[in-house]
């Protein structure tokens, strides 16, 4: 187990170094490419490579301010998506799991590992 822990830590360190190098190269590519669009994709062909840069804007909604606009339905630009309330789901699973099973599919995700050296 100790050998696996050491291998894991070394692999994580290599991964971190590779990621830092990749990010530096990405910055250099962006500086050379000089994209002009604030949002969208631009493509250039350079010495046998096709380089595409996609720019995106992150938008945050103030839902209360949006609601106060009281826009007519044909002008509404926000979609409300159902989201699972995990706390309430777990309560209902304890009360009657059959109800939850009708509409929820559960499958395991990839486990995460956190490893810390201790003295």
Q: What is the 3-state secondary structure (H, E, C) of the chain?
A: CHHHHHHHHHHHHHHHHHHHHHHHHHHHHHHHHCCCCCCEEEEEEECCEEEEEEECCCCCCCHHHHHHHCCCHHHCCCCCCCCCCHHHHHHHHHHCHHHHHHHCCCCCCCCCCCCCCCC
Considering the domain boundaries, does residue 83 fall inside one? yes
Residue 98 lies in a domain: yes
Question: Does 65 fall in a domain?
Answer: yes
Residue 60 lies in a domain: yes
Q: Does residue 119 fall inside a structural domain? A: no
Q: Report the number of distinct structural domains present in the chain.
A: 1
Question: Is position 116 within any domain?
Answer: no
Which residue segment(s) compose the domain that 35 sits in? 2-103
Q: Do the domain assignments include residue 109?
A: no
Per-residue confidence of the chain (119 residues) as pLDDT tens digits?
999 999 999 999 999 999 999 999 999 999 888 888 889 999 988 888 999 999 999 999 999 999 999 999 999 999 988 999 999 999 999 999 999 999 999 899 988 777 777 77
- Does some domain include residue 34? yes
pTM of the model: 0.66
């Amino acid at each position: 187990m100790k050998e696996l822990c050491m291998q894991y830590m070394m692999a994580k360190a290599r991964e971190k170094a590779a990621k830092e190098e990749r990010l530096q190269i990405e910055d250099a590519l962006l500086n050379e490419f000089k994209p002009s669009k604030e949002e969208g994709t631009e493509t250039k062909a350079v010495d046998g490579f096709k380089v595409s840069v996609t720019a995106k804007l992150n938008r945050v909604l103030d839902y209360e301010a949006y609601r106060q606009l009281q826009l007519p339905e044909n002008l509404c630009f926000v979609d409300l998506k159902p989201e699972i309330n995990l706390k309430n789901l777990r309560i209902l699973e304890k009360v009657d799991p059959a109800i939850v099973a009708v509409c929820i599919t559960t499958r395991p995700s990839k486990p995460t590992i956190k490893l810390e050296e201790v003295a």
